[in-house]
Chains A and B, each alone.
Chain A
Amino acid sequence: MTKSNKGLTFFTVNEIEGSLLECESVVGIGYGELVKIITKDGKEKTGQVIDVSDKMTVIQLFENTSGLNIKSIGIRFTGDTIKLPVSMDMFGRIFSGVGKPIDNGPDIIPEDYLDVHAATINPYSRLHPTKVIQTGISVIDGLNTLLLGQKLPLLSGAGMPHKRLASQIVSQARVPETDEQFTIVFAAMGITSDEMVLFRNDFLKMDAINRVVMFINLAEDPAIERLLTPRFALTAAEYLAFQHDHHVLVIMVDVTNYCEALREISASRLEIPGRRGYPGYMYTDLAMLYERAGIIRGKKGSITMIPILTMPDDDVTHPIADLTNYITEGQIILDRSMFKRGIYPPIDPLICLSRLMDKGIGLNKTREDHKQLSDQLYYAYAEGKTVQETAMVSGEKALTNTDKLYLKFMERFEKEFINQGYYENRDIETTLNIGWDLLSILPESELARIDPEILNKFHPNYLK
């Protein structure tokens, strides 16, 4: 064993720059090691070794460096990496972005300390998701079904009701095959205090607070802490899912703030920027978070993840949204024009996708008509939109009778299928039936994506 400096305090800081601290090296310092910085008045701050060589050690501080004085600060190497103390008493509690209680409650008595940078799940040990989560929201359950163990982001824009939608999902989502609700791990990154209060009140109102663990990094908290927040939250989620068999739903809001922090820290370290100033490793960094969702063979629990992000200028090609969509298993996108037309949830299904959906729906899972119905609804809605464009260019007179029916379908589809109340919880059966009702606007000959047998069984024309 190499010698450890655990417990010793050194006064060897040479330089402080931004949130970086440079000091002389001592043998045995580990890369990534957690350090305590002790100020003159005896307060402790934390940091982490991000570069260590014979000549010097660079420490990234997790807290403000303001007021630090080079001469008087001491450094204590802990010989340990960053860990989260965990226990089943975490429920109902609120922690800071770095895992400290901030709700005036007592410290938790840890059952274990877990490394926040979890090891990678062996892809061979993963179980592919196959079970449907009913969210009670038609446009999700019917057309972009969420499965247990999936990571499916909500992409939104400033001012749109993504938080509301997230709350509705939290309140309505049910663990498949049971009537149980999910355990919620909530990771807030860079949100404002009033947003935090709103979420908390929502959880209180829906009587969910005792199944929620909250990690809150506020907008005014240091950027570096924001990078740790989801890691702490996911560590808690893994503990609950894989050591205590919970089905955990992780809500992360707002990933955009997280990425901005990543950009800020990267710039301060003088790294070469990639696209639009974001670091080149942002894809990998985000993947390290998102890929912690899933199901593991031999474990009873699961982690399902709904990251929420606001797209700057509603732009899906913005690196944050783009990279997220490249990693997650689909995306639910909120649409500005629908929002303006008063549709809730303002989700345009055409640009949404649930990549895992096909594995979860159908006979013995949801209903045998689900896939074909959904394909046909997609087709009809897309067709309706095309007709609408034609009508805008060439006027109504250019439309055939069938065209007009598609137009009518499109309008009613938005009002009756997509649109629903904030407190309206539709089961999948209801969702599918609404779909059939709307399809019956169209002539049967247009329903080419549905097999005759399915049509005979579910089309309203054949139901008594």
Chain B
Amino acid sequence: MTETTIGTLSRIAGSFVTAKGMLNAKMFELVKVGEVGIIGEIIRISGNTSIIQAYEETEGIKLGEKIIGTGKPLSVELGPGLMGQILDGIQRPLPLIADKIGPWIEKGIEVPAIDRNKKWQFQPIISKGAKVTSGDILGVVQETPSIENRIMVPPEIVGVVESICSEGDFTVTEPIAEIKTSNGIKEVLMMQTWPVRQARPYKTMLHIDTPLITGQRIIDSFFPVAKGGIIAVTGGFGTGKTVLLQTIAVWIDADIIVYIGCGERGNEMADVLERFTHLKRTDSDHPLLSRSVLIANTSNMPILAREASIYSGITIAEYYRDMGYNVAIMADSTSRWAEALREISGRLEEMPGEEGYPAYLSSRLAEYYSRAGSIKTLGTKDREGSITVLSAISPPGGDFSEPVTRNTLQLAKVFWALDFNLAHRRHYPAVNWFMSYSEYTSFLEDWFLRVDRDWQKLCGDARALLREEEELKEIVALIGADILGDKQRGVFELAKMLKEYFLMQSAYHPVDVYCPIQKTFKMLRTLLKFNEKISTAIDSGVPLQKILALPVKVGISRMKIVPSNEFDSVNAKLTADMDEQFEVLIQEAREEKNND
């Protein structure tokens, strides 16, 4: 253990305190400040004087009180018991705090991140005498009904298993194995700690070639997410970032979700907790919480913990990635994180960059996002894991040219631009189909081809139709609507159908909330078929009004709420009806022509 250093408080100004007489202080070392012992981090050292940023309110702390160093940088505890937890930005379980002191969080409260008394049933999968290296799995623990925790040899340990416990119940601090290394025998516990600002090691980065299906039609078809990718969800207040992220958290086909409420609303966090505790994908599934870790640092909680929260989150994500899981991490919102950074920098009187953000904003963002990716883990045997990062960005005034959005878009490969105009019309998800993009589409071609051979054409045609509508709108604005023939009016109608019946998707409808990828493409195919039919029918002299009155249109409008197990038969009937009803119209038109 490192010796602790003790100093005396010589200045307190807001969340910054200065300590004298700190002999062995290290940068980023965690300290306890004052009699109440609030947590702080050393951020500047000159001689025996350290400047410390406190993670909590310093009100009431007095000149001359003590500061005690812990010898360690801000770290998280990693081990069984983490899954299903609800933590604050510096990994204190919120339910425990509530149990201990009631509904208000008082400063200086200390609770262990991982329960020290709980016993876990450990099952070894390796025997004495085996040669092991960091990342190798020694045994497993069923952490929750959904997640098996794989107990790994911690980083930087290589050697031979000297002893390993046989199956039995252990706490996270009891040694379960001993490994003989060149530096002597090392005990391995089920729990390890890791400094949050340091990425956990892996073997190699892998190519991106697989999507993560979200169940959101506009996303899976137009702007897909790749496993190991970086996604920016950007939009002004109320455009639907939070609802979209939360919906995706439930449905995305990742194994594990880390959800960070970073500087946002308390009631929203209450809602997330409630949802994650009860929501299941299917009746036989376990609640989402059994494969999630939640981090809640709401807007009124200390900003320094807010700044730390995304690092705590991604370190936890890396820990499960290293076991071989696909983890999706969501942070709502990284703008609040950046503001915390700005505030800290401002208080340190650093030279401000653009809009007061520190010059290192972009490098800090890069540090965070570089921890995303699909990787081959450490260890003797090949194992793959991934972290997919989804971040909400809340630009002031909804203006995407501001620093946080711009710097994030340098790193993110997927951009979902949420649009005030769509949101005001209650068109959700309010993803603007002209501004948004996914640079992964081409990497994912092979995968999607296996789902639907025509997917590129389907998406391409649909987007072309939306563009055509936009161009027509501009013409109408210039010249007026009377120049429009039935053909052009047909484009408006179909674009409207595409928006209302396909792109719009309710997060609150039990069926519509999730659309399987096959169904997404089939819906597109049916809509586009309707489009072709309109075109032919109009060419044959059928008036648009008649087409729009076709009963099959009602069927199309309801495709999205047809449960996926009934969809194929409903859809087959729909296409057959469509053929038949158009045939009748065209026949009528011909007869009318002949009668003239």
Q: Is A29 an interface residue (CB 8 A)?
A: yes
The reply to whether the CB of B103 lies closer than 8 angstroms to some CB of chain A is: yes
State A260–B336 Cα separation when bound (angstroms).
Answer: 22
Q: Is A9 an interface residue (CB 8 A)?
A: no
- Complex contacts, A359 vs chain B, CB 8 Å: 271
Q: Contacts A275-B396, A317-B398, A350-B425; is A2 near B11 (CB within 8 Å)?
A: no
Cα of A52 to Cα of B273 in the assembled complex, Å: 40
Complex Cα–Cα for A31 and B342 (A): 23
B-contacting 9-mer, from A114-122, A133-141, A168-176: A114-122
Judge whether B480 and A394 touch: CB under 8 Å: yes
Closest to B481 in A: A398
Of the candidates A51, A54, A118, which one forms a contact with B10 in the assembled complex, judged by CB atoms under 8 Å apart? A54
Of chain B, the residue at the smallest CB distance from A299 is B103
Chain A residues within an 8 Å CB radius of B265? 291, 327, 329
Q: Quote the shortest CB–CB distance from B546 to chain A (angstroms).
A: 14
Given contacts A32-B60, A274-B356, contact A394 B343 (CB under 8 A): no
Q: How far is the CB of B19 from chain A (nearest CB, A)?
A: 11
B511 at the interface (CB under 8 A from A): no
A358 to B59, CA, bound (A): 39
Q: Chain B contact residues: over half helix, strand or loop, or mixed?
A: mixed
Q: A120 to B301, Cβ gap below 8 A?
A: yes
* B86 within 8 Å of A (CB atoms): yes
Q: Residues of B with Cβ closer than 8 Å to A?
A: 10-14, 18, 20, 35, 57-65, 86, 94-95, 97-98, 102-107, 236-238, 261, 263, 265-267, 269-271, 273-274, 296, 298-301, 303, 336, 339, 342-343, 346, 349, 352, 355-356, 394, 396-399, 424-426, 476-477, 479-482, 500, 508, 557
Distance, CA A131 to CA B398, complexed state (A): 31
**A456 to B394 CA separation, bound complex (whole angstroms):** 42
Residue of A274, A317, A322, A355 touching B342 (CB-CB under 8 A): A274
Residues of A within 8 A of B356 (CB): 272-275, 280
Does A123 lie within 8 Å of B396, measured CB to CB? no
Asked if A442 lies at the interface with its beta carbon under 8 angstroms from chain B, I say no
Query: What CA separation (Å) do A2 and B36 show in the bound complex?
Result: 12
Any chain B CB within 8 A of the CB of A393?
A: yes
A271 to B397, CA, bound (A): 23
A121 and B266 form a contact (CB under 8 A)? yes
Q: Contact string, A171-200, partner B, CB cutoff 8 A, digits 1/0?
A: 000000000000000000000000000000
With a cutoff of 8 Å between Cβ atoms, the chain B residues found around residue A45 in the complex are none
Question: What's the nearest-Cβ distance from chain A to residue B369, in Å?
Answer: 23
- Report the minimum CB–CB distance from A343 to chain B (whole Å): 19
Give the chain B neighbours of A327 by CB distance below 8 A: 265, 299
Residues of B within 8 A of A102 (CB): none
* CB–CB A271/B103 < 8 A: no
Q: Can you name 19 A-B pairs with beta carbons within 8 Å?
A: A27-B63, A32-B59, A50-B13, A52-B63, A53-B12, A117-B57, A124-B86, A126-B267, A149-B267, A272-B349, A274-B355, A280-B339, A317-B398, A322-B236, A393-B476, A394-B479, A394-B481, A394-B482, A395-B480
Residue of A nearest to B306 (CB): A284
Closest to B10 in A: A54
In angstroms, Cα B89 to Cα A120, docked, is: 14
Q: Quick one: which of A122, A124, A283, A355 contacts B238, CB cutoff 8 A?
A: A355
Determine if B299 and A358 form an interchain contact, defined as CB atoms under 8 angstroms apart. Answer: no
A28, B62: Cβ atoms under 8 Å?
yes
Q: Closest chain B residue to A298 by CB distance?
A: B103
A97 at the interface (CB under 8 A from B): no
- Residues of chain A lying within 8 A (CB to CB) of residue B425: 350, 378-379, 382
Q: Contact check: which of A294, A390, A448 meets B557 at CB < 8 Å?
A: A448
Name the residue among A50, A53, A127 with the largest chain B CB count within 10 angstroms.
A53
Separation of A287 and B271 alpha carbons in the complex (Å): 18
When distances are taken between beta carbons in the complex, the residues of chain A under 8 Å from B65 are: 2
The interface residues of chain B lying within 8 Å CB-to-CB of A64 are: none
Of the candidates B107, B346, B482, which one forms a contact with A398 in the assembled complex, judged by CB atoms under 8 Å apart?
B482
Q: Which residues of A contact B104 (CB under 8 A)?
A: 118-122, 125
**Residue in B closest to A349 when the chains form the complex, CB atoms:** B424
Which chain B positions have C-beta within 8 A of A326? 237, 394
Across the A-B interface, the 10 shortest Cβ-Cβ residue pairs? A53-B11, A287-B299, A317-B397, A32-B59, A394-B480, A398-B481, A125-B103, A31-B12, A123-B269, A124-B94
> A296–B104 Cα gap in the complex (Å)?
10
A291 to B267, CA, bound (A): 9
- Contact partner of B397 among A128, A150, A280, A322, CB < 8 A? A322
- B12 and A129 contacting across the interface, CB-CB below 8 Å: no
Do B63 and A284 touch across chains, with their CB atoms under 8 A apart?
A: no
Contact of B63 (CB < 8 Å), options: A32, A53, A123, A126: A53
CB pair A398–B480 under 8 Å, yes or no, is yes
B78 CB to closest chain A CB (Å) equals 22
* B243 nearest CB neighbor, chain A only: A355
Task: Give the nearest-CB partner of B557 in chain A.
Answer: A448
How many whole Å from A407's CB to the nearest CB in chain B? 14
User: Given that A123-B266, A394-B476 are contacting pairs, would A322 and B98 also be in contact in the complex, using a CB cutoff of 8 Å?
Assistant: no
Q: Identify which of A25, A124, A331, A390 contacts B481 (C-beta below 8 A).
A: A390
User: How near does chain A come to B298, taking the closest CB pair, in angstroms?
Assistant: 5
Instruction: Chain B residues near A271: list those with CB within 8 A.
Output: 346
Enumerate chain A residues within 8 angstroms of B97, measured Cβ to Cβ.
Answer: 122, 124
Interchain CB contact (< 8 A) of B11 among A27, A51, A124: A51
> Is A12 located at the chain interface by the 8 A CB criterion?
no
Is A319 in contact with chain B by the CB < 8 A criterion? yes
Contact yes or no, B426 A81, CB < 8 A: no
Contact across chains for B394 and A30 when beta carbons are under 8 A apart: no
Query: Is A297 part of the contact surface with B, judged by Cβ < 8 Å?
Result: yes
Q: Which of the residues B59, B263, B273 comes within 8 Å of A124, measured between beta carbons?
A: B273
A27-B63, A28-B62, A117-B57 known; A124-B396 Cβ under 8 A: no
Partner of B13, one of A51, A117, A353: A51
Residues of B within 8 A of A47 (CB): none
Give A177 to B296 CA distance when docked, in angstroms: 32
Residues of B within 8 A of A322 (CB): 236-237, 396-397
CB within 8 Å for A393 and B339 given contacts A81-B60, A291-B299, A351-B424: no
